[in-house]
Copies of this chain bind each other. A is one copy, B any other.
């Protein structure tokens, strides 16, 4: 497939390389920053462009991976009448692309991609298109780089973007709190890593609740109170501990 990449951030870099490696022809990489555009263009065998007017009109697909804010003013910069154009943002409506093209879509990678880290092996894609038949093309594109995909509504995509917060941002916060607790106790965080990993590694797609253990599940009020006492110099974390324990108790009741 002949592609044009718009944007030179983490997503564009990761997807661009995966697509080029899978044999797709990346015609151009657009980037405001010439050096970044040149770098990604070199790695994908494309031509770098920094002028909107220089974007070719003969690609099969235009993939934008620019910031959510930049997407909002997109139509003032680029016109691609009749061309298939997708954005890659989790929470941005599809209709933000209206006015750039009539044939639009979203190819949303449900994964955390950082430029300073190797690209994760598995990137599940959520797909949405203005014309139903175009979803086939995005499913094939996902498959070509070895990634699963599912066609969803806009509402489902936004809900999944939200669900991602619960398995990424929030666990990472909990890890950060635990890190501070190990520091206070002069035990290396390494001592908690095997448990942290085991907790994640057990997940196999079925309900994680079957792995739930701990004082809140057992309604062990003595241990719960001990832990609350240990947090007395961390008022915010103490409240969080209480709320989290209440949510566990609540799910326990529902499971009974």
Contacts and interface: CB of A to CB of B under 8 A. Distances in A.
Contacts of A201: 197, 200
A112 B208 CA distance: 14
A189 to B, nearest CB: 5
Please indicate which of the listed interface residues A172, A177, A187, A206 has the most CB atoms of chain B within 10 Å of its own CB: A172
A159 B213 contact: no
Contacts of A185: 152, 156, 159-160, 163
B250 A246 contact: no
A104 B21 CA distance: 61
A181 B208 contact: no
A178 B163 CA distance: 5
Interface residues of A, number: 87
A172 B244 contact: no
A210 to B, nearest CB: 9
A178 B195 contact: no
Interface stretch (A94-102, A120-128, A129-137): A120-128
B214 A200 contact: no
A227 to B, nearest CB: 5
Q: How many copies does the complex hold?
A: 2
B230 A240 contact: no
A144 B173 CA distance: 35
Contacts of A79: none
Contacts of A123: 194
Interface stretch (A25-33, A37-45, A215-223): A215-223
A171 interface: yes
Interface of A: 91, 110-112, 117, 120-124, 126, 148, 150, 152, 156, 158-160, 162-179, 181-182, 184-209, 211-217, 223, 226-227, 230, 236-237, 239-241, 243-244, 246-248, 250-251
| Leading 9 A-B pairs by shortest Cβ distance | A200-B200, A169-B214, A122-B194, A175-B208, A166-B178, A167-B196, A163-B181, A171-B171, A176-B209
